[in-house]
Structure 1
Amino acid sequence: MSQVTNFEIPGSPLDMATLAETLEDDFAAVASLNRGTSAPSNPFAGMCWNDTSASPVISIRIYSATYGWVTLATYNDTTGAVLSFGGRTIGGTSAGDILDNNSSQTATNKRLTGPRLNEDVALGSTSTEIDRLCDDATATAAEVSQLHNQGALAADFAKLHAITKSAAQIDSNMPTNAALSSTNSGVETIPFTGEEVAALVVGNVVVGDIILAVGNLQAVKGGTAGHVATNLAGTGTATYQMASASENFIASHPSVGAGATFYLNVTGIFVITGDGSFGLRLWSTSDGSDSTASANTCGIHAVFLRKQ
Structure 2
Amino acid sequence: MRTKSSATVDAAESTDPVASQLGVARLRLGWSLEEASARTRLHLNVIRRLEAGDFDKFPSVAYARGFLRIYSRELGLDPKKILRDFQPLSEPEDSILDLRPEMLESLPTRAAEPILTTRGIGLGVMGLVGVFVFSVVGIQLYRVWPVKSPKDPSTLAPIGAVEKSTLPSSAPAAGTSSSIPVAKQGEALSSLPMVQTSENNPTPAPAAPQQLRIKARKDTWVRIVAIRDGKEVQLFEDTIDEDDVVPAKDDPAWSGDAFVVTTREAADAEIIFNDSNFGPYEKPGPQTFRLPAGR
Q: Shared fold by TM > 0.5? A: no
Bin of the TM-score, shorter chain as denominator length: under 0.3
Relative to its length, the structure with more strand (as a share) is: 1
Larger Rg computed on CA atoms: 1
TM-score after normalising by structure 1: 0.18
TM-score after normalising by structure 2: 0.19
Relative to its length, the structure with more helix (as a share) is: 2
